[in-house]
């Protein structure tokens, strides 16, 4: 999961923000680190609230349904002897 930052001077993934800072395209003094940390903490709270086991069960079932449907959508070729 990528961490997205929304600031007055920047909006995007955190790795892009670090890249721009390193390349001196953004002044590190202009970045409100407290706001970045606040957004990160909000993301952690959401992640803690998610029931990982239930999400995993859902993804497993959904992937099985997709596999079954994709097999049915493929052209059926009769085997020749």
Give, for all 81 residues of the chain, the pLDDT tens digit: 577 778 777 778 777 777 777 777 777 788 788 888 888 888 778 877 888 788 888 889 889 988 988 888 888 877 666
Write down the pLDDT at residue 48.
Answer: 79
d(CA 42, CA 48): 10
CA separation for the pair 26, 5 (Å, rounded): 14
pLDDT of 51 reads 81
pTM of the model: 0.48
Please state, in angstroms and as integers, the Cα–Cα distance from residue 1 to each residue in 15, 44, 63, 69, following that order: 12, 11, 19, 27
């Amino acid at each position: 999961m990528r961490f997205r930052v929304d600031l007055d001077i920047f909006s995007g993934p955190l790795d892009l923000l670090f890249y721009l800072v390193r390349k001196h395209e953004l002044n590190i003094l202009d970045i409100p680190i407290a706001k970045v940390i606040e957004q990160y903490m909000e993301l952690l709270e959401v992640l803690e609230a998610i029931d990982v086991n239930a999400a995993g069960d859902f993804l497993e079932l959904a992937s099985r349904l997709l596999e079954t449907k994709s097999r049915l959508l493929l052209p059926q070729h009769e085997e020749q002897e």
